[in-house]
Structure 1
Amino acid sequence: MRGVFMTGTDTDAGKTIASACLLVALRRRWPQAGYWKPVQSGLDDLPRGDTGTVADLTGSADSDFPAPAYAFRAPLSPDQAAARDGAVIDAATITLPACPGPLVVEGAGGIMVPVDGTLLMLDLAERFGLPVVVAARTGLGTINHTLLTLAALRARALPVAGVLFSGPDHPDNIATIARLGAVPVLGRIPRLPDLTPAAIAAAAEKISLPLLLS
């Protein structure tokens, strides 16, 4: 297994927590599994970025993971954050780093977020050629957002590994997405009042690796 591309139905859909949980689950089978955030924005609010968050939650060091290809200060889409910093993203330079195990690649925002003004996260996912995991909320609005994300991925014939939900249990929403989206449900990460490695490890138990690998 080369890895997965983690996208979300929109901003704050739980991609980073889902990425940490998925990384812990993968490491139980592949101890050298890794994490990579190709383009990071929002360093003003999160100085170590999502890489630092995933490192803390998985008992890793930041240096255990490849650094982002680009990182910007403003909490905006990559193209806007780059412009705010007076930088230009050369999307041709964004290539998968070497990793001795499966790599969890976390996108920025949703699949239709611009990377450089013309290239979308969708294009980046297509270039990487990894199966896509969609991080989705469980509550109101998730059916529309998740089915639209799945439709965009399938319009490009990208392989969808499944949906990983976060939040309180809403079985009707989850079942509707599974049925109408014709997609595996990889699990549900409950609300975690304390974001600790122990809580992430417990949540990782709820991810179905057999479904992910099928």
Structure 2
Amino acid sequence: MSAPLPPRLFVTGTDTGVGKTVVSAVLLAGRGGHYWKPVQSGADEDSDSQTVARLSGRGPGCLLPEAYRLAAPLSPHRAALLEGVRIDPARLALPEVPGGGPLVVEGAGGVLVPLAPGLLMADLMATLGLPVLVVARSGLGTINHTLLTVGELRRRALDVAGVVLCGPRDAANREAIESYGQVRVVAELEPLPELCPAALRAAWARCFPG
């Protein structure tokens, strides 16, 4: 059996919309703990924090307050610019987790998304020092995107906890990612019939190690 995931993780993706928030909610539904989204853009819509609290069944008590909430559904640096805000790295320190326990930190977009001039998402990952879980699509294009992401994380000496593939299973893509990337695919999360706490708990039990 594969080794279980570290209790505290930074969840990133190969792109936006690949399933980071659902994977984050599955982690919370399966093992409890807390969730932190350091920078939330698109806060005028349903925020990722609200989605994780609802889908995981953990409720608002699992949420740690975002350091920045930005209205526009854009890259954080652009959303901040529109509001006349400059994202300060000093405000992005890892918050204290009440009672300790598991923690999921979810980034925005991918590894090289800019937060502010001279500050990329990967810089925040390095500062926080958490193992990084990469969420990727399972289908066409995922090999290139995933290997680029894993390669950039390793170039920066960040600890890659593994890859989660979201979508219909594709054995060839999984094999290629593991072989060429020398990285563990820790879970394959197929489309769920319903996004609700019970379905996410079942997905955790079915798909994740430990």
TM-score range, shorter chain: over 0.9
- Identify the match of residue 15 of structure 1 among 9, 12, 20: 20
Higher fraction of strand: 2
Post-superposition offset of 1:24: 2.4
Equivalence map 1:1-214=2 (5 Å): 3-27=8-32, 33-46=33-46, 49-99=47-97, 100-210=100-210
Post-superposition offset of 1:2: 5.3
* CA distance in 2: counterparts of 1:192 and 1:82, whole angstroms: 34
Post-superposition offset of 1:86: 2.0
Post-superposition offset of 1:69: 0.3
Structure 1 unpaired stretches of 5+: 28-32
Q: Which moved more, 1:5-14 or 1:199-208?
A: 199-208
* CA distance in 1: counterparts of 2:157 and 2:125, whole angstroms: 11
Q: Specify the code of the residue in structure 1 equivalent to 2:152.
A: A
Deviations 1:20-41 (A, max 9, x none): 11222333xxxxx111100000
- SS of the aligned residue for 2:64 comes to coil
Overall identity of the aligned pairs, in %: 50
**Which of structure 1's runs of 4+ aligned residues deviate more than 6 A?**
none
Q: Which moved more, 1:78-87 or 1:200-209?
A: 200-209
* CA distance in 2: counterparts of 1:157 and 1:57, whole angstroms: 33
TM-score, with length taken from structure 1 = 0.91
Tell me the C-alpha RMSD between the 2 structures.
1.3
* CA distance in 2: counterparts of 1:142 and 1:26, whole angstroms: 28
Q: Specify the code of the residue in structure 2 equivalent to 1:134.
A: V
Residues 28, 58 of structure 2: 8 Å contact kept? no
